[in-house]
Structure 1
Amino acid sequence: MREFIRPVAVTLSIVCLTASMAVLSADSALAQGTQKMAPAQGAAPMGQPPAAKQIALTDKQVEGVIAAAKDMDALSEKMPENGKPDPKLMAQFEATAKKYGFASYDNYNNVVDNIGLIMSGIDPATKKYVGGAAVIKAQIAQVQADKKMSAKDKKEALDDLNQAAKAPEPTIENKGNIDLVVKNFDKLAAIIGDDQN
């Protein structure tokens, strides 16, 4: 991947990682994809991942996500393209989550969602939390200014970023999560970056 697209890819991969981890949970295994069914009352609007139940993260949880990344990625690669995981694969996800200190796979997913919520608002250049809207705005400006990007790639990137910019930014309920995720930004960005390679 070209270096000048990397910040865009990191943000988009965070969004994708958060969304994919949410749909892999046992309760929503069949909801993988773009959620074309009408949302339930109180659910996120169509096309957007459901809102994460915000929790106060701990060092142990963040370290567990980092440690579990390789095993979870290997299991994710086994997911069938039709989005219908078999019970044996779901049992492996559950066992892997427990191996790394999580109460369940759903608990692991919730931690990943909370990390993704913060990661999407960290400026990769300064490694400071500025909020998702500010990160997307900076990335739009970066893509618009890029003279080396093909017109097609630029249009696709801008379409994706403009779509992301339309999504309402959730309020961070646990401000301590920001410091914890910023402290681990490099490790978390590395495992998310591995998803892109």
Structure 2
Amino acid sequence: MRKLACLFGLGMLFLLAQTAAAQDTPKVDAFLGYSYVRANPATSGAPSFNLHGGSASLAYNVSNSLGLVADFGGYHVNKIGGFPVDSAVYTYLFGPRLSYRRSESKITPYAQILFGGTHLGRGALQAGSDNTFAMTVGGGLDANPTRHIGLRLGQVEYLMTRFKEAAPNRQTQNNLRFSTGIVFRW
């Protein structure tokens, strides 16, 4: 009977520890911050250029390590290769995020892969707009000074877009995206 009571007690401690760990994981992470994109056109000889803007994401944490992410961004460029332009790029991406959360740690590393689309809007000098497929693969590091507010120290991603370019059969752009900002959790 004593062994049974010990096993029951250990089982209850295990369940309570699991419940406590699950309570430490926020159900929702909301990010708002600055984003930088280094765009690399596929057309040979076309110069790379910088876009600056912002991004926001919402992650629903299914478990301690798995989250489902919706990510939205807007970026602007006003000069490419010395020529004035007025263009904006918008991204809308969705997918899974794997986080490594430890209750005693104030840092949370994560990796994610997102799929979706991107929209290129051209200003008054260039006619039209374009919508196409986009995806990101990358990860980041969040600092957690408090339970409900954190800092995204950095998120670095490969951003692939598929805009049609001037050169025939050239339509894959291999870009870099960096984001940093504030994370709200509840």
> Per the shorter chain, which TM-score range?
under 0.3
Structure (1 or 2) with the greater strand fraction: 2
TM-score when normalising by structure 2: 0.24
Structure (1 or 2) with the larger CA radius of gyration:
2
TM-score by length of 1: 0.23
Q: Which structure exhibits the higher relative contact order, with contacts defined as CA atoms closer than 8 Å and separated by 6 or more residues?
A: 1
